[in-house]
Structure 1
Amino acid sequence: MLHAFLAACAFRSPGVRPPATLTSRSGAGPPTVRMFAADASAAEVSSDAPAQLRPQHELAKAWWPVILTHGLDRSRPHPVQLLGQSLVVWHDGAAWRCFADACAHRFAPLSEGRVEGGCLQCSYHGWSFDGGGGCARVPQAQQPHAAGERARVGAFQTREEAGMLWVWGDAASTAAEAEAALPLPLSPLLRQLCERSPAAGFQRDLPYGYELLGENLLDVSHLPFSHHGVGGLAREAGGSLELRPLPPSPPAPGAARFSAAVLQPARDDPMVDSAAASVNISFFAPQHVRYERRPRPGAAANVELFLCPTAQGRSRVFLFNAFAAGARPAVPASRMARLLLSKAVGAVRRLLVGGPPPRSFGAPGTVADHMLSHLIFDGDGIFLHYQGQRMAERGLSFRDYFTPTSAGALTLPRHFTSPTSADALVLRFRTWLSSARRGSDPAVAAAAGSEAGETGEAGERGGYGRSLERAQLLDRYDSHTRHCAVCSAELDRVRAAAKLCKRLGEACIALAGGVLAAALGGAASPRVAGSALAGGALALWRLERAQAQLHREAAAFIFVDYVHADRD
């Protein structure tokens, strides 16, 4: 049974389509371009961004997911980042709280502190802060509350829904009740999934920014190429991909900013073989991308992805595969042959040259499920970071992409080529983000992505100035494992089993030495000694193989290289 992420997203790649229809507006000015060349009914859009692309609020004035709460230790604080701000989340016994990660005394990180008596205590001098950010205790003060209001720390609104802790990005907000009432972009399927499986989410930190993460999640055409060999995806399946824009939702909190439908899902989605199937892709500004698959009447399966801009050139992603209870999508019979052939070839290769067995596709929230999710993000991790780095080095922006303009881009790209509708959602997201950044504080705007010529922290252009080793770009331990209760527990188990194998092997060697000494001293017959030594050697060989296998399994939680040229 295939992972629902692949079930929802495995589409063909774009091909070359007929040129876009260009018309001139009356008077001077740039031409207009239809949103999708394949859709003759699509309204023409001008270089002025349409109303649905304009930001309804600043980027900071929104709810952002910052961390999964399942398995999160409530007895200690946890550092997080949001929009370039270092924050700390902690539990006061009643609810999760979020502060700026700097003590009001001398700005030491509160994430290195302790949770005591419903307060967050700074470990530098013991100053304690209550859930509202007020200073509850100053051990060095001669009188209680001597620090007064000046000792407050910045406190951010929080809410916990769908297994995620959400933070309102503006600590200076004065409309807490209205903001707390804003609906979050959570589908009924996702809410049902989280009620059944509280650990269903997957979280990973990525070495590229929010702007490239948003592009990537809305770009369905890259999947057969970037993720070749994962769950039946194949480069050979790449072909044309036609998208049709859906009518915009009325502007309202929680509504999709823009959506598109795959015109031929039975052709372009390898998990669908019904003419009645539908696949829609939506962006809910500013933090959610949703794939809605309806493989047949009455069946539903969503892939729900949530974005968190942690810092310039860095981001965090949350992945949920939501489907009705007992209705997880199966592989269509017409697509099963390729999957079985791929598994058979892999089994023969492992028999001949060795290697760990493949992990089965697991239920949401299992180790197997997380390992497959890693493969998806590993496939993009190398080149998305370097894409950002090369764009920053050369002073390029999304307006320089060699692709047609669409979705109301502010200006025509400098390079214009034959259009394909596959890039339309990418350009629409980037156009929306460009507009939203202009309405935001410069520091917040920088954390959500850079434009040509901008400089990030420490002079790093766009946050991509420092080259990273492959082990850093594809790191799994710091980006996921140590934050994940499921994977960290499994890693501990695997390491403990490896240590046990090592000790048993040492015991076998010691026993063999004793038997040999006994034989030489005449206390054991050569026949008995030979049998014992042969049995010990066999046991030692098996233990060493088991230990090597466990070491490979442990490495899967830390770093696995992903070389596209090697994926045949």
Structure 2
Amino acid sequence: MLMNSLKPAQLQRRGARSSQCATCGRQSRKLQCKPSALSGSHLLNDQCNVKRLGRTPSTRISAAAVDAPPAPGARDLEQQQGDCNSFAWTKSWYPVFALESLHPKLPQHVDLLGLKLVVWADSKGTWHCLEDRCPHRLAPLSEGRVEGDTLMCCYHGWTFDAGGACTRIPQLSDAKAAATACASPKACVTAYPCRAQDGLLWIWPEPTAKSAAIAQATPVPGLPSTTQFTPWFVRDLPVRFDTLMENVMDPSHLPYAHHGILGNRNRPRTKIDSVNVDAQPTGFVYTRSLTMRDKPVTFSLSYAAPVSVRYYMQQERPNLALMVTPTRPGWSRLFITQPTDFSQLPLWVRLVLQLRNASVALRHAMDTNAVLDGDTYTLHLGERALPLSVGIGDAYIRSCYMPAPDDSPVIAWRRWLGRHGGGALPTCSPADAAAMPPAMAKRDALDRGGQHLVHCKHCQGAVKQVDVASAVAAAVGVVALFTAVAKVVAVAGAPSAVEAASTAAPAALATALQGVLAQPGLVQAAGVALAAAAVWVGLQRFRAKFFYEDYVHAFRDGRMVTKS
């Protein structure tokens, strides 16, 4: 494996050379590299299926000269098909759901690479995936029901087994006619390989009939077997796959887009000593050496095609694991967890982590969703400034100005797409431009309820608990309020109080008021009513965080930021 270690000021474009593939004989362009003692291979090997895709010499990706004019025919580089180094997007496993969010009796619709699919579990709890369309009248099977080991269409009752074969047509009473119709290929539904692993449900987006063997032999890009991890956070985002993947690979935006949550824009900038990018057809590893508090720190980011991004800080096991699944044009599904090797941790640290995992809903509402709200709308609007017809690889780089070493992982991602992405990434190709939805209103783009709550049993449970607590607080407040009012009315109706009110003498009114306040339990009842009202208001504000919370960067410091 080839690797370079360059100072930021030394980053420059290397000369290109042409090499011939030993497998197919095609000529391919490579950037010249120099060997280095540093290597990120261990970060990539545990995530890439190198046996399936093959290993080739790595490519050094530079961060300089990205605004140079394109060479003649350079855009065609992204559109070449059939290169043996091109990544096959449909020959991989993609996460689609957190298993804990699925109900075995409830079929679920899912979009994957533009495909409309349905997942469901049979009587043994084994999950299956079919095309979400009944061949009879094109009704969505995800609206149907599970009957034993079959999926029934809710429209006319046709049933299908795990392989997509039709097993029953209720409208045909003649057994022979029914058998003939069920055996027809026109009555079948396309099935896709499906697998449950590491708390996620994975789908292979090629029909089972064509790819069952290779899918079975291909490992899921999961986590090490000795690793425990926090419950998966899942959220649908109105951002294209290439844009969202670029975002999660860009650590330099954290102190600005996520000020006060993941960073601080007012702190001195961390010194970057060196930047390294090691690229292969199966992904790449970005490493940078930092000086933090006068101590050297190594930060690494690895991308394993097609979905996996891992963050490493001074260790070989990831501190943070993210996966991005392309669902449909303009949308992606993000998965986040924090892997931990519990066997290497002291007992007290394990207890702290387990306590933290017990407050999953609180962390999702107050932390993770707030992080994503910080730049989702920015990405949603920004990606519409550059049409898909321009391209998502090298042509995209030339449309932006990225002169800093911090831009290296973004450039690495875009160059990897241009050289190994095959030029036809589903949901992000020029053909998908017409299917891109128009720009959404900010409230819709940051809809936590529709994007995350529907996928998270922890947050759903928290909302139910908040609703129960709110109802109790409201009931207690109403009872306390009526009690206080009843006591006031009882005192006000006394002859002395009526006489004081009729004379309107200040002394008499003061005496009457003292009599009211002297009523046993009145102050306590009023206090309980006020406390219950405060609790109810607080619960409603907390409940709103599961559905929508506006994010205004100008107010992130607690004060209005004015432009000079």
Match of 2:118 among 85, 88, 113: 88
Between the aligned partners of 2:30 and 2:210, the Cα distance in structure 1 is 42
Superposed, which structure 2 residues align to 1:280-359 within 5 Å? 280-294=300-314, 300-325=317-342
Contact 1:84-1:312 within 8 A present in 2 as well? yes
Deviates further, 238-247 or 502-511: 238-247
Distance 1:202 1:562 in 2: 20
Q: In the alignment, is the contact (CA less than 8 A) between 1:90 and 1:98 conserved in 2?
A: yes
Residue in 1 that maps onto 2:502: none
1:487 to 436, 459, 471: 459
Post-superposition offset of 1:262: 1.6
TM-superposed CA distance for 1:160, in Å, is: 0.8
Distance in 2, matches of 1:426 and 1:364, equals: 35
1:311 maps to amino acid = R
1:166 is paired with a residue whose SS is: strand
Residue in 2 that maps onto 1:424: 408
Corresponding residue SS for 1:70: helix
Question: Which one-letter code corresponds to 2:385 in the other structure?
Answer: R
Aligned residue identity for 2:167: A
Aligned to 1:389: 384
Q: How far apart, in 2, do the equivalents of 1:185 and 1:328 lie?
A: 24
Measure, in 2, the Cα distance between the counterparts of 1:472 and 1:259: 35
Note closer, same or farther for the CA distance 1:262–1:311 as it changes in structure 2 (3 Å cut): same
**Structure 1 residues 499 and 203: alpha-carbon distance in aligned structure 2, compared to 1, 3 A threshold:** same
Q: Is the 8 A contact 1:307 1:316 kept in 2?
A: yes
Offset of residue 39 of structure 1: 12
Query: How many angstroms does 1:363 deviate by?
Result: 3.0
Matching residue of 1:333: none
Instruction: Provide closer, same or farther for how the CA distance between residues 93 and 541 of structure 1 changes in structure 2, counting only shifts above 3 A.
Output: same
Does the 8 A contact of 1:21 with 1:34 survive in 2? no
Aligned residue runs from structure 1 range 543-562, under 5 A = 543-562=532-551
Give the direction of change, closer, same or farther, for the CA distance of 1:528–1:246 in structure 2 (3 Å limit): closer
Preserved contact between residue 61 and residue 277 of structure 2 (Cα < 8 Å): no
1:369 matched to 2:399: no
Q: Post-superposition shift, 1:236?
A: 2.7
1:103–1:122 contact (8 Å) kept in structure 2: yes
- 1:222 shift after superposition: 1.0
The answer on whether the counterparts of 2:149 and 2:161 sit within 8 Å (CA) in structure 1 is yes
2:488 maps to what in 1? 516
CA distance in 2, matches of 1:439, 1:395: 12
Paired residue type of 1:503: A
On the 8 A contact 2:241/2:332 being kept in 1, the answer is yes
Q: Percent same amino acid among aligned pairs? A: 29
Change (3 A) 1:529 1:326: farther
1:124 alignment partner, SS class: coil
1:445-472 per-position Cα deviation (integer Å, ceiling 9, x unaligned): 341x245xx553xx35xx15x1211111
Structure 2 letter corresponding to 1:192: T
Q: Which moved more, 1:466-475 or 1:156-165?
A: 466-475
Distance in structure 1 (CA, Å) of the matches to 2:209 and 2:417: 22
Q: Shift of residue 287 of structure 1?
A: 1.0
Between Structure 1 and Structure 2, how many residues are aligned? Answer: 476
- The letter for the 2-side match of 1:113 is G
Q: Where do residues 270-285 of structure 1 align in structure 2 (5 Å cutoff)?
A: 275=296, 277-285=297-305
For the Cα contact (< 8 Å) 2:242–2:392, is it kept in 1? Answer: no
User: Could you say which structure has the greater relative contact order, defined with CA pairs below 8 angstroms and 6 or more residues apart?
Assistant: 1
Partner of 2:165: 134
User: One-letter code of the match for 1:428?
Assistant: A
Q: What is the letter of the counterpart of residue 523 of structure 2?
A: A
- Aligned alpha-carbon RMSD (Å): 3.8
SS state at 1:87 partner: strand
Q: Secondary structure at the match of 2:357?
A: coil
Is the 2:136–2:187 contact (alpha carbons within 8 Å) kept by the matching residues of 1?
A: yes
Cα separation, 2, equivalents of 1:26 and 1:231:
41
Specify the code of the residue in structure 2 equivalent to 1:558.
Answer: F
TM-score by length of 2: 0.75
1:116 match: 147
| Alignment partner of 1:159 is 2:195 | yes
- Aligned residue number for residue 183 of structure 1: 219
Distance 1:34 1:415 in 2: 24
> Which of 541, 546, 554 pairs up with 2:530?
541
TM-score of the pair, normalised by structure 1: 0.74
In structure 1, the residue matched to 2:468 is 496
Structure of higher CA gyration radius: 2
Q: Are residues 1:219 and 2:250 paired?
A: yes
Matches within 5 A, 1:101-112: 101-112=132-143
Letter in 1 for 2:356: G
Give the match for residue 284 of structure 2: 258
Structure 2 stretches lacking a partner, 5+ long:
1-6, 19-28, 40-58, 63-70, 347-353, 498-511, 558-564
Residue deviations 1:482-534 (CA, integer Å, cap 9, x gap): 21111100011011111221122222232234333433555999457744332
Provide closer, same or farther for how the CA distance between residues 503 and 394 of structure 1 changes in structure 2, counting only shifts above 3 A: farther
1:76 to 97, 106, 110: 106
Residue pair 1:225, 1:235 contacting (<8 A) in 2 also:
no
The aligned counterpart of 2:183 is 148
- Looking at structure 1, the residues matched to 61 and 191 of structure 2 have their Cα atoms a distance apart, in angstroms, of 45
1:158-207 CA-to-partner distances (Å, cap 9, x unmatched) read: 1111111110011265231222121222231xx4344xx6x621111111
Which residue does 1:338 correspond to in 2? none
Kindly provide the CA deviation profile for residues 142-173 of structure 1, in whole angstroms up to 9, marking residues without a partner as x.
12433323211111101111111110011265
Q: Are 1:60 and 2:90 counterparts?
A: yes
Q: 1:363 to 1:55 in 2, by over 3 A?
A: farther
Conserved 8 A contact 2:8-2:274: no
Where does residue 226 of structure 2 map in the other structure?
Answer: 192
CA–CA distance in 2 between the matches of 1:364 and 1:241?
37
Moved more, 142-151 or 233-242: 233-242
5 Å matches for 1:236-247?
Answer: 236-239=267-270, 241=272, 244-245=275-276, 247=278
SS where residue 460 of structure 2 aligns? Answer: helix
1:125 aligns with 2:156: yes
C-alpha contact (below 8 Å) 1:242/1:421 kept by paired residues: no
CA contact (8 A) 1:21 1:33 kept: no
> Which stretches in structure 1 are left out of the alignment for 5+ residues?
1-15, 330-359, 404-412
* Post-superposition offset of 1:381: 0.6
Choose the corresponding residue for 1:379, options 366, 374, 392. Answer: 374
Contact 1:208 1:384 in 2 (8 A): yes
2:206 match: secondary structure: coil
Q: CA deviation at 1:320?
A: 1.1
Q: Which residue of 2 aligns with 1:472?
A: 444
